[in-house]
Structure 1
Amino acid sequence: IYLTRENQNEWLKSDSPKLFLIRSGLYDLVDEKGDVVTRLAEGDYFGYPSLLTGEAIQNRLQVQKEGIVYLLDQSSFDYLRREYKTFEQYFVRAHKNRLLSSHYKSQNESWSERKIAELMSRKAVALPPDASINQAAKKMKKHGVSSIMITEHECLVGVITDRDLRNRVLADEVDSKEPLSSIMSAKPKFIFENNRVFSALHLMLKFNIHHLPVLDENHKALGMITSTDLLRQQKSDPVQLIGRIYKAHSVTDLKRYGLEVPELLRGFSNNIDDISLVGKLLSGVTDALTSRLIYLFQEEHGTAPTCFSFICFGSQAREEQTLHSDQDNGLLLPDGLTEPQQDYFKRMGEFVCEQLTLCGIKRCPGNIMASSELCRMSKSDWCERFLNWVEAPTPDAMLNCKIFFDLRFIEGSNTLYASFCEQLTRISHNELFYAAMANDINTNSVPIGLFNQFKLEKDTRQHKFIDLKKRGVVIINDIVRLYALKAGIRLANTQERLDALLKLESEKCNFLSNKDIYNLKDCWRFLTQLRLRTQINQEGLPSNCINPDNLNSLERHQLKEAFYLVKQSQQAAAFKFARGSL
């Protein structure tokens, strides 16, 4: 048959199972929830589970690109099974692998894919701040909870736990008629309902908290989740490692933990469905090492003489680090520091960067580290530096913008960092700057040549490869950064930037359609999965590179499709921001 969007329902009837063999075209296999299970192309097949088991068809097909498909009905399939044992063994084995894969995925979803909202079993137990301590104790007893949220107009203002009742009320003999505002932990850490379990565990371990309020996108209090709730879901060695790092008592301990990371990652990557989480995990490890080193430095040399913000740039800021990522960090300092104060932070920057190197995180070849004077500056100096790049967008300036406009807070003063970000948002509103960024993005090309063939590079040993980072992931990161800056989005993570762009009206993100956003999300994830898989498997090629001959036909097709979509997005950015001036 020639399968199209118009006739797909006619041929793909749930009451008439068939084996479908794809000769041409492109199709998405979609599950009952509407999620894409896999993309099918030439040489792929589907439909055999129902033919083998007699069970109802669960998945459905969506035609993405019309093509020719061969159909084999139940009686013909059964005949071939009886007459040709090789035929039967092939599909029985395929079905077994499919079941194992489904079981594997369902196990993983309980850990890596599950959102916080899915673990919420009860509504928020809350009281206003003027309620009495006695009322809180009674309500906690009634609901059988160890903590209570303090809210005003359904928005979180504080938290009280059973530990607070022991330490702040009983131990200090506070009158139980006093208002909760007098003993609550104000402005507590919280997490949004759509965040993952991994993020919640990381937050709890970093700040040594056991009760984490859950909010919706409007900051309305939804409920509380505890460390016990999360650890019950799945014990995770990588997250436990991060916990040990935050509690380390010496640099020697941190170095030992750093050496555990590569082997731990290999095990972690085999137990998650979304391998791109490896980037978040690695960035989490680097964050933890950095925070603890800052703590150990202050423990030895005294508390910092003034407020400061230790920040990171590049892949660490985007939470997209790989095994080959190096350091990209800096110190944001207040204006008007004295010479002794500047010397203190010089020693802090040098200590942290040197020890991170010993923990296995390479020095930045471009010296973008807090140990460098150019990455250890006052807020005014940092802002002037960014302003110079924006107003004079030379090639070197564009290179700096790709690194420094991806930034994230790690340790120190959140207030200082927030005020710096507000100034950066104002600085970056420059149409000539956006045009220069769009032009710069198009100086890099995807590795697809004439007749839709891969354009391969060679190293000194004549290995053929495609650089997935340079020719794919970096281009997507650059495109998304451009739209995010234009829209005033402060997030650094590429996927989170795309999610934020989805929520904006089209005119605010310069006509980046939802379809374009979903395409960029899919391409980024696919290329990142391939890139990390190659690194973890150590295939002998240069870092971030892959030989397309080692991919199956579906992966090669998807890779070409991803590069094609990236190229379209590049050209669209040039047209929208640079008025097609390329």
Structure 2
Amino acid sequence: MSNVIVNRVAEFLKRFPPFSFLEKRDLELVATAVEIQYLEKGETLFRKGEPARPHFFILKEGTINLLEDTQYGEEIREVCDEGDVFGVLALLGKRPYVLTSRIVENCLIYAIPVSFFEKVLEENSRVALFFAAGFAAGQVVVRQDLSQSQKARGEFKNASGDHSLLIFSDQSEVNFSEKVLKCSPDTTIQHAAKLMADTQVSSIVVCDQNDFPQGILTDKDLRSRVLAPGISTKNPVWAVMTSPVITRKKQDGFSHIYLTMIRHRLHHLVLTLDGSAQSPVAGIISDHDVFLSMGNSPAVLIHGLMNSLELADMRVIRDRAEQMLRYYLDNEISMDFVASVMTEINDVIISQALEISKKHLNPDYPEMEKVRFCFLSMGSEGREEQLLRTDLDNAILYQDVPEKLQAKAAEYFQKLGEGIVEVLLACGFDACPGKIMASNPEWVQPLSVWKNYFSEWILHPSPEALLKVSIFFDFRAVAGNKKLSEELTEHIYQAIAEKQIFLNFLAQNALKNPPPLGFFKDFVVEKSGENRDQFDIKSRAMLPLTDLARLLVLSHRIVGINNTFKRFEKLSELEPGNAELFSQAGKAYEILMRMRALEGLQNRNNGRFIQPKSLGKIQRQLLKNAFSPISELQEIVNIRFQLDYFRR
């Protein structure tokens, strides 16, 4: 392959994981080994049941459908687009293809030799873990994240590629059990099963007199090899055990152990002193142990959520996400990344809540199947800033339907919203005190009503209307038909364009909160109530910044940026003269988010109220520094929107 082509291949590969984890030299070697294939629409790359080819593939251009045979014919299991890696089971499993690939649009495919890439796997744990996490998640197309959304691909990736270390961090040692249940080969199956039941474990290792492993018997073996074929439980375990047993030493790194389990399709891996079967048993690791070892991985948490519709399981996984959040905050991980991860997890929970509610309702409302709708998150979740399970702000927007269906649609979407909110509450989120939730009929409306709502708020910006604006203007479509929300956004900007003075009212509202520091440069605290002498970090510090960022972005007619620090980032581009101030404001908001989340995790609450006396000197100074951009921004807004004249 000529150098020019090799360079082009390498430049493409380095844009996508796992190739983005490779050093330049290794990337060029992979590019040299690539075979370029061109296929036209309608052709087939491989079929289900065919032996695995000596390559796996990454799609350069075009679209490929991966199809599964069902009783109703071929159904699309996956859609591959640019940068997707597929045919990967050949890489580790070396088994026949389980799906058929069909070319939907003319394709350019890079085929990468398995034999060549296996060396890369051995030498690069980050690459190995990337594939391992994909297989653990049951992926047939390996992508950077498990949500399979374009948005998440962008959010989880940065220019340096360092985020991969956080998502799939290697472990120097895996959590495993040193207390291994063992028996001799002549033990009866019945006795072995009783030992497993008594100790409540899912496997027993069969050992000789030297404690060397001869085989392993698992719950699955008992079902498939004993009960199903009707074999007598009086037979010895050696007759049904899995043998020879695959072993590794307990000091092996996480990626090596995990890949061994995946390569051999193991649910349990026996660990010995020297890693061979001719050595005493030292421990055992199960796929459950692996899951726990990867507990700080958003990929694993998202996979767990996407594969469960059980409320108890979803609650446990969201609890674990909070543990992961604490780890990220303690280790000073970028707030942009942390917010992206937590938003993705929350979004998956919402999507699953929607599926649960639809599954329950749809049989009784078949006519609603084709009615377009979307679930809107607002407030902090709408801005992709909800780190803790604070109160919910959400709504449902659905298309206008014929008059004969209006009552039915209102009833259906009301029940749908109630079901979704019930799931979110069960997962530990707080209810909105103001009842701005999809369980409230007022906020479950067709598009025409939503347009009227916003038109009314913009035309008659009363204090109550401006309060609603501060919540509803940050809406984000999380699930459903997002074109409906785009249509609503267009309407809002058109309404503002027709009444520019609305921005002056919004500016006035953005300045209603005084600076967080008093005359003597100390924190302005609550004077009464249950939070007396505490500092309200949300109302006095974070809310002014979110309000100011929203106002300025609206004044520039910027669509599609809800996140506060991304709004300030965009404003830095639009107003170079104020770039430094906007940059400081964005960083200040990140500090405030981090501090509130840590406060909430420590006190197991929403983190809103902070006791200033509990802060150390450095924390107090850091918090005060974060306040400095607020007064400057308020002064800019005061002048820009001529509020001194506007108030007269």
* Higher gyration radius (CA): 2
Change (3 A) 1:396 1:410: same
Extract unaligned runs of 5+ from structure 1: 1-114, 185-196
Matches of 1:266 and 1:285, distance apart in 2: 15
Q: CA deviation at 1:498?
A: 1.9
Alignment of 1:212-223 (within 5 A): none
Matched residue SS, 2:376: strand
Change (3 A) 1:408 1:171: closer
Counterpart amino acid of residue 292 in structure 1: Q
Matched residue SS, 1:411: strand
Q: CA deviation at 1:550?
A: 3.3
Change (3 A) 1:301 1:576: same
Alignment of 1:426-505 (within 5 A): 426-429=494-497, 430-460=499-529, 464-489=533-558, 490-504=560-574
Q: Deviations over 1:144-188 (max 9, x none)?
A: 653222169xxx975665449999x996697xxx7853899xxxx
Q: Deviations over 1:260-307 (max 9, x none)?
A: 455554344334434675544443333222110111222333373422
Q: Deviations over 1:494-541 (max 9, x none)?
A: 11222222333x3xxxx871112112112212222222222222299x
Counterpart amino acid of residue 502 in structure 1: S
Counterpart amino acid of residue 564 in structure 2: T
Q: CA deviation at 1:207?
A: 10
User: 1:521 matched to which residue of 2?
Assistant: 586
Matched residue SS, 1:450: coil
Matches of 2:483 and 2:88, distance apart in 1: 27
Q: Does the 8 Å contact 1:275/1:532 carry over to 2?
A: no
Matched residue SS, 1:452: coil
Change (3 A) 1:301 1:131: closer
Aligned with 2:372 (options 298, 307, 310):
307
Matches of 1:286 and 1:179, distance apart in 2: 33
User: 1:560 matched to which residue of 2?
Assistant: 624
Alignment of 1:384-395 (within 5 A): 384-395=452-463
Q: Does the 8 Å contact 2:573/2:579 carry over to 1?
A: no
Q: CA deviation at 1:246?
A: 1.5
Extract unaligned runs of 5+ from structure 2: 1-16, 64-79, 110-128, 171-293
Counterpart amino acid of residue 637 in structure 2: A
Change (3 A) 1:550 1:409: same
Matches of 2:104 and 2:391, distance apart in 1: 50
Change (3 A) 1:171 1:232: closer
Please, what TM-score do these two structures have when normalized by structure 2? 0.57
Matched residue SS, 1:311: strand
1:237 aligns with 2:301: no
Matched residue SS, 2:517: coil
User: 2:112 matched to which residue of 1?
Assistant: none
User: 2:314 matched to which residue of 1?
Assistant: 254
Aligned with 1:535 (options 600, 603, 606):
600
User: 2:490 matched to which residue of 1?
Assistant: 422
Matches of 2:429 and 2:311, distance apart in 1: 14
Q: Does the 8 Å contact 2:46/2:100 carry over to 1?
A: no
Q: Does the 8 Å contact 1:310/1:412 carry over to 2?
A: yes
Q: CA deviation at 1:236?
A: 5.2
Counterpart amino acid of residue 519 in structure 2: L
Aligned with 2:343 (options 272, 283, 290):
283
User: 2:119 matched to which residue of 1?
Assistant: none
User: 2:410 matched to which residue of 1?
Assistant: 342
Counterpart amino acid of residue 247 in structure 1: N
Matches of 1:437 and 1:246, distance apart in 2: 40
Change (3 A) 1:151 1:495: farther
User: 1:181 matched to which residue of 2?
Assistant: 106
Q: CA deviation at 1:210?
A: 1.9
Change (3 A) 1:428 1:236: farther
Matched residue SS, 2:513: coil
User: 1:549 matched to which residue of 2?
Assistant: 613
Change (3 A) 1:360 1:232: closer
Counterpart amino acid of residue 409 in structure 1: A
Q: CA deviation at 1:128?
A: 7.7
The count of aligned residue pairs is 432
Alignment of 1:202-221 (within 5 A): 210-211=142-143
Q: CA deviation at 1:127?
A: 7.7
User: 1:60 matched to which residue of 2?
Assistant: none
User: 1:25 matched to which residue of 2?
Assistant: none
Matches of 1:356 and 1:530, distance apart in 2: 25
Change (3 A) 1:207 1:335: farther
User: 2:353 matched to which residue of 1?
Assistant: 293
Change (3 A) 1:551 1:159: closer
Matched residue SS, 1:310: strand
User: 1:574 matched to which residue of 2?
Assistant: 638
Matches of 2:477 and 2:39, distance apart in 1: 30
Q: CA deviation at 1:371?
A: 1.4
Q: Does the 8 Å contact 1:136/1:148 carry over to 2?
A: no
Q: Does the 8 Å contact 2:61/2:82 carry over to 1?
A: yes
Report the identity percentage: 22
Counterpart amino acid of residue 313 in structure 2: D
Matched residue SS, 1:377: strand
Q: CA deviation at 1:136?
A: 11
Q: CA deviation at 1:566?
A: 0.6
Aligned with 2:61 (options 133, 141, 150):
150
Counterpart amino acid of residue 410 in structure 1: V
Q: CA deviation at 1:232?
A: 4.4
